[in-house]
Structure 1
């Protein structure tokens, strides 16, 4: 049984239209499925590894200058070399509690690292047992 020409054209056009719509849906979905996740947001301003390194080097230089100009404090921290970590922590706490001015001075020297950590949230302040 043959369809009239007009009906046949309609069937072919309908099938082709459906194919176009299905293809558009398929190929339109592929790029979305293959898309990479969005990159993480950039760090806040002045919170890069370079910023941390710069602040840490400044704190290190200031600590060195402080120790050179305060020989008794330098001698104390030098005497800790080679001791177990838990003993170092205890001795440093005792020393700083007995010497509040030294504690205040060293806390002030380290303050830029604390400020960086507070501002950036992800930067870590080196947690060593020396000043």
Structure 2
């Protein structure tokens, strides 16, 4: 029961971060909707973020070692988490590459659309 809750919480966090970023748009961008390239609306960004969250959830469910590793990081101090993550991916570079590939659509749309969250999104992937 803890694992599905964790995955759901992370998916909600990613979606919430996307919505939070949408609510904190620069006023000038809101006043001039043509300043963004096509397919760079709030809905476009949220849709990509949702797809990335779904792909990540699926990947974690099919990679129980990685899922267990991330689950085990909960409630640890941030400095220990950073070291543990670096050590894990040093030992598992294929999983790191897979996660980077999963995240790439969100990186791409943020760069293409010049999308910059104006507030800290509470630890969500930037």
Q: TM-score, normalised by structure 2?
A: 0.64
Equivalent position of 1:50 in the other structure: 43
**Which structure has the greater CA radius of gyration?**
1
* Alignment partner of 1:40 is 2:24: no
Distance 1:87 1:106 in 2: 21
1:116 to 109, 117, 123: 109
Distance 2:86 2:104 in 1: 18
Distance 2:104 2:122 in 1: 13
The runs of 5 or more residues in structure 1 that have no matched partner are 1-36
Equivalent position of 2:65 in the other structure: 72
* Alignment partner of 1:87 is 2:80: yes
1:105 to 98, 102, 109: 98
- Checking the alignment, whether the CA contact within 8 Å between 1:59 and 1:109 is kept in structure 2 is yes
- Give the secondary-structure state (helix, strand or coil) at the position aligned to 1:83: coil
- What does the per-residue CA deviation read over 1:50-98, in whole Å, with 9 as the maximum and x for residues that have no partner? 1111111111110110010011010000000111223222211221121
- Give the secondary-structure state (helix, strand or coil) at the position aligned to 2:47: helix
Q: TM-score, normalised by structure 1?
A: 0.61
RMSD: 2.4
The runs of 5 or more residues in structure 2 that have no matched partner are 1-27
Distance 1:96 1:104 in 2: 9
How far apart are residue 41 of structure 1 and its match? Answer: 4.7
How many pairs are equivalent? 92
